[in-house]
Amino acid sequence: MSSADIDWKTLGFDYIKTDLRYISHWKGGEWDEGQLTEDNKLHISEGSTALHYGQQCFEGLKAYRCKDGSINLFRPDQNAARMRRSCARLLMPAVSTEKFIDACKQVVRANERFIPPYGTGGALYLRPFLIGVGDNIGVHSAPEFIFSVFATPVGAYFKGGMTPTNFIVSDYDRAAPNGTGAAKVGGNYAASLLPGLDAKNRQFGDCIYLDPETHTKIEEVGSANFFAITEDGRFVTPKSPSILPSITKYSLLELAKERLGLEVEEGDVFIDKLDGYKEAGACGTAAVITPIGGIQNGPDFHVFYSETEVGPVTKRLYEELVGIQYGDREAPAGWIVKVD
């Protein structure tokens, strides 16, 4: 199969239709076998709960082309587990880790020509999603469900990739204190569109959400988690029930401790105490690690390390993470699943 006709160097984060996607249906209490299809359109009932009541969730992970030509998935079992937690929160049927990873592998194999070559910095982004469908009108769980996985090749999410980006604190909340913030459900993202656009219109990469209860602590950076390095060299990341538990963040936490020998802490990051941090970053599957240049909070603009240079700890974390993802550095046990 020939490589897709794509300029890998200029790839952004946009939808590109690939050859095949996986689809499985749940009906009468069980999932069917699932299959690959060329059709990138869904034909669903107008009464589908996903359309009216937001009964849906999704995931995001990447397949990486290694130097030796093999293909890596990064911690797909963690995405499978998170999707099950999202499903439990929204009364949707669970997909086993085995089915989830098998679907991802099938989609990667079927679209191998779309995997950006090693060295271009791109990856094949996988979007698993699960939606409530079937004829329905009342506010209750759907009679049927669809689990699907599609793929699209991507480059950097934030323009500029590993260059410092500025963010602005939003007045809006992303999720309620006991709401759905920890689940990867569409409603959270619908609510984030307006604040995100406001931030971009003001030339910021995205907005920072504070904790919805007191508006004093950093929670998320757009669709990425936040971390910072304290003046005395500790790796700190916010802990809150309304944050999406980022797989990248928990990986960095482990790498900071085990490979960089840093003390790590999940705790409070107060927005009025940023002076105590010498570096900060946004992390996620799409964002990878995006260094945070500065944060605008009302009239105050706080610069961390630099608006143009990447701090040394952020750089080492990036090299470790990306090295593992592309197979250049040894991965902790179980982090890499090969697609063969």
Q: Is 60 in the site for ligand PLP (CB under 6 A)?
A: yes
Name the residues annotated as catalytic.
184
CB of 282 to ligand PLP, least distance (A): 9
∠ CA 288-293-296, nearest 5°, is 115
CB of 134 to ligand PLP, least distance (A): 27
CB of 246 to ligand PLP, least distance (A): 3
Kindly tell me which of 144 and 206 has the beta carbon lying closer to ligand PLP: 206
List the interface residues with ligand PLP, window 87-146 (CB under 6 A).
none
Among 284, 291, 293, 311, binds ligand PLP (CB under 6 A): 284
List the interface residues with ligand PLP, window 297-326 (CB under 6 A).
none
Kindly tell me which of 32 and 254 has the beta carbon lying closer to ligand PLP: 254
Among 55, 56, 165, 223, binds ligand PLP (CB under 6 A): 223
CB of 100 to ligand PLP, least distance (A): 14
Kindly tell me which of 182 and 271 has the beta carbon lying closer to ligand PLP: 182
CB of 223 to ligand PLP, least distance (A): 3
Among 83, 90, 142, 224, binds ligand PLP (CB under 6 A): 224
Q: x/- string (CB under 6 A) for ligand PLP, residues 235-274?
A: ---------x-xxxx-------------------------
CB of 224 to ligand PLP, least distance (A): 5
Instruction: Give the integer Cα–Cα distance in Å for 250 and 78.
Output: 10
Kindly tell me which of 134 and 222 has the beta carbon lying closer to ligand PLP: 222
> Other CB atoms closer than 10 Å to residue 44's CB: what's the count?
15
> SS in 3 state form for the chain?
CCCCCCCHHHCCCCCCCCCCEEEEEEECCEECCCEEECCCCCCCCCCCHHHHCCCEEECCEEEEECCCCCEEEECHHHHHHHHHHHHHHCCCCCCCHHHHHHHHHHHHHHCHHHCCCCCCCCEEEEEEEEEEECCCCCCCCCCEEEEEEEEEEECCCCCCCCCCEEEEECCCCCCCCCCCCCCCEHHHHHHHHHHHHHHHHCCCCCEEEECCCCCCEEEEECCCEEEEEECCCCEEEECCCCCCCCHHHHHHHHHHHHCCCCCEEEECCECCCHHHEEEEEEEECCCEEEEEEEEEECCEEEECCCCCCCCHHHHHHHHHHHHHHCCCCCCCCCCEEECC
How many chain residues are in contact with ligand PLP, going by CB under 6 A?
Answer: 12
Kindly tell me which of 229 and 283 has the beta carbon lying closer to ligand PLP: 283
The binding site for ligand PLP (CB under 6 A) comprises 60, 220, 223-225, 244, 246-249, 284-285
